[in-house]
Amino acid sequence: MLGKIDEESRVDFARSSPTIAINNRIGEIDKKLDILLDGYISEVVGETEYKRKKSSLLNERLRLKEKLSDLDSKGKGWLELSALRR
């Protein structure tokens, strides 16, 4: 039982650093999207530029979300395999 908890802790620690970095980057993108929208509403940014930049930011955000999902599924798979070996 304690061995399993130790393994889970190691996996959580190994995954936490990339996960934190990715979540921070997603937060930065969300802030940029808010600023971009404010600029568009204030007519500081034109429609074409707004759509181009918004699309770019949303694509990057989606890519990062997929990366988070991959990290999560890989970590769970590793735990399942280690549990089967016992």
Total of domains in the chain: 1
Q: What is the pLDDT of residues 25-84, one digit of tens each?
A: 999 999 999 999 999 999 999 999 999 999 999 999 999 999 999 988 876 544 444 444
What is the pLDDT at residue 83? 45
Separation CA 64–CA 25 (nearest Å): 8
The domain in which residue 71 lies consists of 2-85
What is the pLDDT at residue 81? 44
Q: And the tokens for 69?
A: 């999902």
Q: Are 26 and 65 in contact (CB under 8 A)?
A: yes
Which has the higher per-residue pLDDT, 65 or 86?
65
pTM over 0.75: no
Res. 18 pLDDT band, cuts 50 70 90: confident
